[in-house]
Structure 1
């Protein structure tokens, strides 16, 4: 039997990138704010997962960054979605409903029934 933590971890890994893109798509965001939003929703267990993901999104041209002064200390790096990031998010969003509905249909079908 597969532990619940393993299943949850695998599901998070599959969608975390797009959740981050969606959050940033709502407006420029500071890394810690992204982390807090994901943690509140149970999608991030460690900030150590987020920053390598943000670096990869930047390398892949899906986000841009800028440094901004902070009233609370050192300058902060903010993340902004690029045109390619918007396109990637739109592609994910366009298939998500169909994909998740298909999984739900299979999970709720009667045993032995062909969904």
Structure 2
């Protein structure tokens, strides 16, 4: 009996790559997906590391920049495997303290406002 969510990916890695194939097709980038087993595993690792949306966006930019329409997904493989890891969301970050320049500008604005206030009262 299969329990939902316990499906194991095909050892070649294509099981986890299928969402990328589907997303590429949905964006009109229909290419050949003929890879050697090691390339499938490298592609699977890229999917795990950076995610399908990042790979599709990279492919779309490469597709637009190509001199001729890419025929094979191999065209994108080097770029995909070279992408940086997706940043992990760690929650809200502390706001950096104001710089000395911005503090000075705020102080000068307060002084200017005080001078205008005095002139208004004294006039």
Q: Please report the TM-score for the alignment, with normalisation by the length of structure 2.
A: 0.22
Q: Please report the TM-score for the alignment, with normalisation by the length of structure 1.
A: 0.23
More strand by share: 1
For the pair shown, the structure with the greater C-alpha radius of gyration is 2
